[in-house]
Structure 1
């Protein structure tokens, strides 16, 4: 999978950009706050229909402008595809695949597969459960677009159920009437939630095996990494639907008391442990970085296996966070991938042993990219 052309108009600090990247590593370097991350953000936007930095699309439009445009052409093993994102201030963004308008952002999933490495990856092991759920949801959506749509429907049903649990809504209804209305949303949550939990369990099972192997290689066999799906709803001997139904029906009183739904995959987590201990609690900074890198590299390998071609890699200012051993592991993993790497200067790459003579490099300054 390879981005052949990237076009930006009034996106962030780019007034206009026309970029034809190389098929391997592409380096975007320059001082901070010049637009390096904005360039890789544009590629991410075309993969997921959203920014990895902000939920507010208005922030993506250049200051003082009413709209922005991001478009790219990508070559896949199935042929050439195009993705376009049109942003207008105060309006819903418009998405296009091969010039045809998308009704839902989920239609983008799988058109352009990307894996992003950034300093924030450390939150995968240091952060709270929401960070790991976000990782699960974004990656599973690339693998299985049907998962994305199930998740969207689940979240909609969850919002409706939670609205009924607000104190003002509870006061307006008798106990029996409230339970009847909750039951309507319970039925949807149970069916969709069981599907989400099943897919998450399968995904983590595959990811865990790869991550454990990669971590052994990176650590020289000194440590063992384990990932385990930690569902909020525990299996009870029956099926997932039965377990979720028991949790919802048995927890109604507590849900009413708290004003929101306490059970379900929206409260799942992934346990990350190193030689039996929690990486989040007991891991050193170096151990946490290695664990996070192993998880991201396993994502790359799993996508490569599943889709039959490597994804596009977005490497945003990550080399400064990695020692020589971890840099080498990353470079080895990206050997067959098109990559966009941002950094302050080329010297760090040269010190890492990278021959820059045949690698496209672009100097980023004030929202412009100049080949050097």
Structure 2
């Protein structure tokens, strides 16, 4: 998959920026705060429907303006061309188009562009709580399986409605009769999400193990294990998981009513990242954590390729300076067939790393000062 060009209008600090990209490497460089990451963010938005830096679309509008637009021209296998257009007007929903055809739901955006983002903040996958790990999995799964994204949306809606019910039961005990209905609806959606996450984690773990084995010269073994918030086994199918979840909801109902929210379910799931059988978060060094995240990101690229038969584009946001020479070389060796976008403050890192066609863009104050 290739992003041929990108046009940004009133996006962050870009007034009217147009970039035509190389099919291989695109180095976007300049001082900090000039708008380099904004370009990667816009590509990522076209792939995932969301920014990796903010949940508020209003923050993406250039100061003093009331709207922004993004246009990405994308080619995939078979040279099928797609024009992805995202427009946002202040206090309104995004207006999306694929090849000039309006799409109403953001889920329809999924699958038109696959992207993997790698930034220094990805260490949060290891260092911070389960929210970061769920987000990492959910974004990738949503790109390759739009139905998964739909299920996540349904989960959020049903949880909100069930939580409202739980809060109102004390003042209106008759509402207890409706809990079973919401339990069933919640379990139906949850079972689909859980089975998808379980399958994904197995695939990612196997691919990451292979990458990490090579990166660490067989000195470390990595695993990425799914931890459901209630007890399930490897052999449990979707129907069994649904029934197990309903039973768990029944057992925790009294606690949920007291607290006013649902304490068990996919929104509480986690993933264990282990190296040589030990928790990477608790016992891993900074270097081990960086190596693990690098292995996971390369594994993510390979997983998308296997699932979709297309490589995603790779967005490297200021990560080269975070990696030592060996990790830099390993990364560049692993992405030979992947269109890659890199932000950096200096091009020196790439003098001996790049092979093949490459474009260089210098960004100053949201403008392209020169393109080499």
Normalising TM by the smaller chain, what interval? over 0.9
**Cross-structure match for 1:113:** 114
Q: CA deviation at 1:263?
A: 0.9
Q: CA deviation at 1:178?
A: 2.4
Q: CA deviation at 1:183?
A: 1.8
**Cross-structure match for 1:345:** 346
Q: CA deviation at 1:250?
A: 1.2
Aligned pair count? 366
Q: SS of the counterpart of 1:171?
A: coil
**Cross-structure match for 1:179:** 176
CA distance, structure 2, for counterparts of residue 356 and residue 332 of structure 1: 9
CA distance, structure 2, for counterparts of residue 151 and residue 46 of structure 1: 19
CA distance, structure 2, for counterparts of residue 249 and residue 84 of structure 1: 45
CA distance, structure 2, for counterparts of residue 120 and residue 137 of structure 1: 17
CA distance, structure 1, for counterparts of residue 111 and residue 213 of structure 2: 30
TM norm structure 1: 0.96
Could you report, residue by residue, the CA deviation over 1:65-101 in whole angstroms, capped at 9, with x for unpaired residues?
0111101110011411111110111111111111111
CA distance, structure 2, for counterparts of residue 324 and residue 180 of structure 1: 63
**Cross-structure match for 1:170:** 169
CA distance, structure 2, for counterparts of residue 117 and residue 201 of structure 1: 23
Q: 8 Å contact 1:224–1:274 — kept in the other structure? A: yes
Q: 8 Å contact 1:49–1:105 — kept in the other structure? A: yes
**Cross-structure match for 2:247:** 246
Q: 8 Å contact 2:201–2:224 — kept in the other structure? A: yes
**Cross-structure match for 1:200:** 197
**Cross-structure match for 2:55:** 55
CA distance, structure 1, for counterparts of residue 146 and residue 329 of structure 2: 33
Is 2:207 the partner of 1:210? Answer: yes
Q: CA deviation at 1:179?
A: 2.0
CA distance, structure 2, for counterparts of residue 334 and residue 224 of structure 1: 22
Q: SS of the counterpart of 1:3?
A: strand
Is 2:221 the partner of 1:224? Answer: yes
CA distance, structure 1, for counterparts of residue 4 and residue 76 of structure 2: 10
Q: CA deviation at 1:52?
A: 0.8
The equivalences for 1:1-372 within 5 A come to 1-78=1-78, 79-166=80-167, 169-174=168-173, 177-235=174-232, 239-350=240-351, 353-355=352-354, 358-369=357-368, 370-372=370-372
Q: 8 Å contact 1:9–1:68 — kept in the other structure? A: yes
Residues 17 and 356 of structure 1: CA distance in aligned 2, closer, same or farther (over 3 Å): farther
CA distance, structure 2, for counterparts of residue 244 and residue 36 of structure 1: 45
CA distance, structure 1, for counterparts of residue 20 and residue 220 of structure 2: 42
Q: CA deviation at 1:159?
A: 0.7
Q: CA deviation at 1:368?
A: 1.0
**Worse overlay, 354-363 or 20-29:** 354-363
Q: SS of the counterpart of 2:169?
A: helix
Q: SS of the counterpart of 1:72?
A: strand
Q: 8 Å contact 1:85–1:96 — kept in the other structure? A: yes
Q: CA deviation at 1:356?
A: 7.8
Residues 88 and 27 of structure 1: CA distance in aligned 2, closer, same or farther (over 3 Å): same
**Worse overlay, 355-364 or 59-68:** 355-364
CA distance, structure 1, for counterparts of residue 353 and residue 139 of structure 2: 31
Q: 8 Å contact 1:49–1:95 — kept in the other structure? A: no
Could you report, residue by residue, the CA deviation over 1:237-279 in whole angstroms, capped at 9, with x for unpaired residues?
8610111011001111010111110111110001001101100
Q: 8 Å contact 2:25–2:357 — kept in the other structure? A: no
CA distance, structure 1, for counterparts of residue 243 and residue 305 of structure 2: 35
Q: CA deviation at 1:155?
A: 1.3
Q: 8 Å contact 2:114–2:312 — kept in the other structure? A: yes
Q: CA deviation at 1:221?
A: 0.8
CA distance, structure 1, for counterparts of residue 93 and residue 19 of structure 2: 26
Could you report, residue by residue, the CA deviation over 1:332-366 in whole angstroms, capped at 9, with x for unpaired residues?
1210111110000111222xx22589521010101
CA distance, structure 1, for counterparts of residue 198 and residue 16 of structure 2: 44
Q: 8 Å contact 2:24–2:356 — kept in the other structure? A: no
Q: 8 Å contact 1:233–1:265 — kept in the other structure? A: no
> Unaligned regions of 5+ residues in structure 1, if any?
none
Q: 8 Å contact 1:46–1:72 — kept in the other structure? A: yes
